[in-house]
Amino acid sequence: MRKSWIVAASMGYGHLRAALPLLPIAQGGELVIANDYPGIPAHDRRVWAESEQFYNFVSRFREAGGAAGRALFGLFNRFQAIHPLAPGVNESGVSWQLRLLQGQIRGGLGRDLIERLVKKPLPLVTTFPMVGFSAEVWGYPEPVYVVVTDSDISRAWAPVDATHTQLRYFASTDMAARHLTSYGVPLDRIAVTGFPLPQSLTDTAAESFTARLDRLSGRSGEPVTILFSVGGAGAQSQIGRELVASLAPLIRRGEVRLVLSAGANPHVAEEFRAVIRDVGVADSTGISVLSGSTKLEYFRAFEAALARMDLLWTKPSELSFYAALGIPIIMAPPVGSQEERNRAWLRDIGAGLDELNPTRAHEWVPEHIRNGTFAEAARRGYERMEREGARRIMEAVAAG
The residue type at 299: F
Q: Are residues 338 and 372 in the same domain?
A: yes
Task: Please check whether residue 104 lies inside any domain of the structure.
Answer: yes
Q: How far apart are CA 21 and CA 300, in angstroms?
A: 11
Q: Is residue 246 part of a domain?
A: yes
By the 10 Å C-beta count (0-12 exposed, 13-18 middle, 19+ buried), 315 is classed as: buried
State how far the Cα of 126 lies from the Cα of 390, in Å rounded to an integer: 13
Q: Which range of residues forms the domain containing residue 335? A: 199-384
Residue whose C-alpha is closest to residue 148's, from 320, 348, 384: 320
Residue ending a domain, choose from 135, 162, 192: 192
Q: 178 and 284, same structural domain?
A: no
C-alpha distances (whole Å) from 253 to each of 212, 250, 286 are 20, 5, 9
What pLDDT does residue 92 have? 75
Residues 184 and 225 in one domain: no
> Are 225 and 345 in a shared domain?
yes
397, part of any domain:
no
In contact, 352 and 316? CB cutoff 8 Å? yes
Is 329 in contact with 352 (CB distance < 8 Å)?
Answer: yes
Q: Are residues 166 and 280 in the same domain?
A: no
Contacts of 229 (CB under 8 A, 6+ apart): 261, 263, 302, 312, 313, 314, 319
- Concatenating the DSSP letter of every residue in 282-324 gives TT-TTEEEEE-SSHHHHHHHHHHHHTT-SEEEE-SSGGGGGGG
Instruction: Let me know: does 346 contact 312? Beta carbons within 8 Å.
Output: no
DSSP sequence for 18-58:
HHGGGGGGBGGG--EETTS-TT--HHHHHHHHHHHHHHHHH
The reply to whether 327 falls in a domain is yes
Alpha-carbon gap, residue 366 to 216, rounded angstroms: 10
Verify that 226 and 241 share a domain, yes or no: yes
Q: Which domain-ending residue is among 138, 162, 192?
A: 192
In a domain, 164, yes or no: yes
CB 143 within 8 A of CB 124: yes
Q: Would residue 85 count as lying in a domain?
A: yes
In a domain, 73, yes or no: no
* Together in a domain, 148 and 260: no
- Asked if residue 366 and residue 268 are part of one domain, the reply reads yes
Please tell me the total count of domains within the chain: 2
292 touches 300 (CB < 8 A): yes
Same domain, 311 and 275: yes
Last residue of a domain, one of 192, 218, 240: 192
The enclosing domain of 347 has a CATH number of 3.40.50.2000
- Residues of the chain with pLDDT below 70 are 54-80, 88-89, 232-235
Domain with residue 138: its CATH number is 3.40.50
If DSSP codes are grouped into helix, strand and coil, which group holds residue 205?
helix
Question: What pLDDT, on a 0 to 100 scale, did the predictor assign at position 234?
Answer: 61
Instruction: List, in sequence order, every residue forming a beta bridge with 146; answer none if it has no partner.
Output: 126, 169
Domain co-membership, 345 together with 263: yes
pLDDT at 70: 53
How far, rounded to the nearest angstrom, does the alpha carbon of residue 169 sit from its chain's CA centroid?
17
From CA 4, how far away is CA 228, in angstroms rounded? Answer: 34
Residue positions counted in the chain: 400
Report pLDDT for 96: 77
| Statement to judge: residues 254 and 354 lie in one domain | yes
pLDDT of residue 72: 47
> Does 290 reside within a domain?
yes
C-alpha to C-alpha distances, 97 to 69, 101, 138, 154, 238, nearest whole angstrom: 22, 6, 20, 12, 32
Q: In whole angstroms, what is the distance from residue 127 CA to residue 342 CA?
A: 17
Say whether both 173 and 218 belong to one domain: no
